[in-house]
Amino acid sequence: MAFTKTFTYAGLTVKNGYLRISDFSGSKNGILFVLSYQAITGETALTTKQFSFTPSMDSNFIAQAYLYLKTLPEFADAIDC
C-alpha cells in the first residue's frame, strides 16, 4: 500500500509523487512511523516525515497507519495505489 499525491519539495512541485511508509516501530500503546516522499516509485526519498498514532490491536498496523494518514487534512486528496 502507498499513496500518490502532489507535494512540494525544495520549492518545486512534485506531481503525483509516491508516498510510502518506509519504517515503523512501537507497541500497542503507540506506533511511530516514517513516511517517505519520492518523485517516482523506486527512487530514493526526497524527504521524510514522522507520524504517530495509537493502534487497534485487531488489525494490521501498517494498514492502520495509512488509514490514519487519510484522516489528516494534508492527505485528504491522496490516492491509494
> What does the block give as the cell for 42?
523506486
Residue 72 in this model has a pLDDT that exceeds 90: yes
The H or E element containing residue 7 is: strand 3-9
Burial label, 25 (beta-carbon count in 10 A; 0-12, 13-18, 19+) = exposed
Taking only the tens place, the pLDDT of each residue in 17-50 is: 999 999 999 999 999 999 999 998 888 999 999 9
Rounded CA separation 66/13 (Å): 23
Domains of the chain by residue range: 3-80
Percent of the chain with pLDDT over 90: 89
pLDDT of residue 30: 96
For residue 25, what are the CA distances in angstroms to 14, 50, 57, 61, 79? 28, 11, 14, 10, 24
